[in-house]
Amino acid sequence: MSSQSFPQWMADIQARVEHALERCLPPSDVAPTRLHQAMRYSVLGGGKRVRPLLAFAAGELAKADPLRLETVACAVELIHAYSLVHDDLPCMDDDSMRRGKPTTHVEYDEATALLVGDSLQTLAFGVLAEGRLCDDPARQMELVSLLARASGSRGMAGGQAIDLDAVGKPLSVEELEFMHIHKTGALIRSAVQLGAACGNVDADGQDRLDHFGKRAGLLFQVVDDILDAEADSATLGKTAGKDAAQNKPTYVSILGIGRAREMADELKAQALAALEPFGPSAQRLAELTQFIVARRF
Amino acid sequence: MSSQSFPQWMADIQARVEHALERCLPPSDVAPTRLHQAMRYSVLGGGKRVRPLLAFAAGELAKADPLRLETVACAVELIHAYSLVHDDLPCMDDDSMRRGKPTTHVEYDEATALLVGDSLQTLAFGVLAEGRLCDDPARQMELVSLLARASGSRGMAGGQAIDLDAVGKPLSVEELEFMHIHKTGALIRSAVQLGAACGNVDADGQDRLDHFGKRAGLLFQVVDDILDAEADSATLGKTAGKDAAQNKPTYVSILGIGRAREMADELKAQALAALEPFGPSAQRLAELTQFIVARRF
């Protein structure tokens, strides 16, 4: 499909998204300067940008305008960044390292980190509402609504609430899956949906992409759990082994490392199978799926 | 204009908004139940609903459909409620009482309060995107964008950041005004704008309404400062005298109580003057302006 290698494509999109995020974040010399500096600190210069990559890969399949994809990629990444800043706070995971540098409340202070997360979420919706994403503005409104459902109490934030309640409790695999479908899965799924919605995919294709998004979201989490159990902090860029230390249920703690790896293989196969009918136009999504697994163990 | 008395009108709108909020908040028996219960606890059954009242009053002037006004009123009130929950957290104002009952992090816990605020913000944008507010969806998208600007780092959240930085510092009246135009003013102003946008107001009328919204927003804050200095906690429904105790600059601490009252009178006169050209159609907005001042001292 494309003559560009996957690593080149990925580096291109990452650079493109970094520039787009730089442009949509408030300048650090505009008041309130400390808040704006902290917002930029929390978003820029780090992260693999998995959600933006998924949005671009789905958008390529749908032949979407790259400028529109930039907008949805920024919106989803801003939601992700807000969730990390709040997740790292002392009352949540109390993490001091993220992406190889001090977390926002450590580098600044707790109150600023709270407002950073709040403001990044607002910015995500502002960005999505201001850009011209679809030819039909009614359709664009549906995208705002889609991002809200993926992020809110029945999506990502709800998953975090379930996560909180689960600390120290025995969970079944089904309960763990329910948690992750919300906590990580919903936003990853929305990245695929939003990217595809910037272009044209028929209803059948949308269904298949949505199935792919769900599998990819869960795959991402299983791999994350394996990584947390195995990697050291330097490789991870954040504090490793936290889940076990905090007595949090993970796929590894419930299934054991061997079965968790098998589950990752199964999810990868299901995700790739959902892409097959698209043929070569799904090349980047397939490569990304491989990447989610391969880069990590 | 209307045969209904102002107290009757106000009670009607408050009841209407309460029901609308009940409907748009997730049911408390839907998972994650604790989060959803805490969201309902934080929003329902309290508050004067000043922002919804302003949206309805501006909407009446613009002959807007009341169902549309319900939607914008809910969106603005959800943003306000999220900001209160986060503002009350220990890392911010560390307040234990709000609207006569324990604050969300006291009744539940800090992590839940954090997620409640996050989820209420998301819900505000979801509600605004899902309702049918304007005949032209492109115009509706502008309203989402307007709410984002009013709430984010260059609006309400930015005002809170300035407030944080101001603790213990001497501020000029101009600096205090800059803070409050963001912290309280931006959202109040947006309530008026959103309400009017659900109906029809010409460009000149919009400008005048916007001028009114800015004056009303500042009036509200000056009155709040006077109230905080004078009232006891029982009347206020939240901890009184906190501003002075926390060494926060207020209109009273900077200007003294007498000059602060004069300023309130001036702002009220300016707000009412901006409404005059509308004639009787601005009756409710004028009554609300009187109410903002009169109910409090």
Contacts of A115 in chain B (CB under 8 A): 153, 157, 160-161, 164
Average pLDDT over residues A268-284: 97
Class of domain B6-294: mainly alpha
Helix or strand run (H / E) with residue A23: helix A6-24
The tokens of B113 are what? 């309060």
pLDDT tens-place string over residues A203-233: 999 999 999 999 999 999 999 899 888 876 5
pTM here?
0.95
State the pLDDT at residue A246. 67
The tokens of B274 are what? 């901006």
State the pLDDT at residue B266. 97
The mean pLDDT of chain A is 92
Find how far residue A19's CA is from the centre of its chain.
18
**Chain A interface disruption, residue of B84, B115, B187, most A CBs within 10 A:** B115
Query: Distance (Å, rounded) from C-alpha A167 to C-alpha A247?
Result: 6
State the pLDDT at residue A46. 82
pLDDT tens-place string over residues A120-133: 999 999 999 997 78
**Chain A interface disruption, residue of B29, B153, B163, most A CBs within 10 A:** B153
Of residues A234 and B221, more confidently modeled: B221
Q: How far is the alpha carbon of A78 from chain B, nearest alpha carbon, in Å?
A: 13
State the pLDDT at residue B170. 84
State the pLDDT at residue A259. 95
State the pLDDT at residue A297. 42
| Residue-range domain boundaries for chain A | 6-292
Query: Distance (Å, rounded) from C-alpha A133 to C-alpha A137?
Result: 8
Q: What is the 3-state secondary structure (H, E, C) of chain B?
A: CCCCCHHHHHHHHHHHHHHHHHHHCCCCCCCCHHHHHHHHHHHCCCCCCHHHHHHHHHHHHCCCCHHHHHHHHHHHHHHHHHHHHHHCCCCCCCCCEECCEECHHHHCCHHHHHHHHHHHHHHHHHHHHHCCCCCCHHHHHHHHHHHHHHHCCCCHHHHHHHHHHHCCCCCCHHHHHHHHHHHHHHHHHHHHHHHHHCCCCCHHHHHHHHHHHHHHHHHHHHHHHHHHHHCCHHHHCCCCCHHHHCCCCCHHHHHCHHHHHHHHHHHHHHHHHHHHHHHHHHHHHHHHHHHHHHCCC
State the pLDDT at residue B136. 85
The tokens of A207 are what? 């269904």
% of residues, chain A, pLDDT over 70: 93
The tokens of A115 are what? 């407002």
CB-CB under 8 Å, B162 with A31: yes
State the pLDDT at residue A167. 81
pLDDT tens-place string over residues A108-166: 999 999 999 999 999 999 999 997 788 888 889 999 999 999 999 999 999 999 998 88
CB-CB under 8 Å, B125 with A164: no
- Give A275's pLDDT tier (boundaries 50, 70, 90): very high
State the pLDDT at residue A50. 96
Residue B114 has its nearest CB partner, among A92, A138, A178, at A92
Domain A6-292 sits in CATH 1.10.600.10 = yes
- The pLDDT of residue A247 is above 90: no
Reference A93, options A286, A231, A242; nearest CA is A242
Residue A153 has its nearest CB partner, among B36, B144, B161, at B36
Average pLDDT over residues A68-90: 98
Name residues of chain B where pLDDT drops below 70.
Answer: 1-2, 232-246, 295-297
Q: How far is the alpha carbon of A279 from chain B, nearest alpha carbon, in Å?
A: 35
pLDDT tens-place string over residues B214-247: 999 999 999 989 988 887 655 656 665 666 666 7
Average pLDDT over residues A190-201: 96
Q: Which of the residue ranges A230-244, A246-260, B97-111 would you say has the lowest mean pLDDT? A: A230-244
CB-CB under 8 Å, B111 with A157: no
Of residues A88 and A3, more confidently modeled: A88
pLDDT tens-place string over residues B183-207: 999 999 999 999 999 999 999 999 9
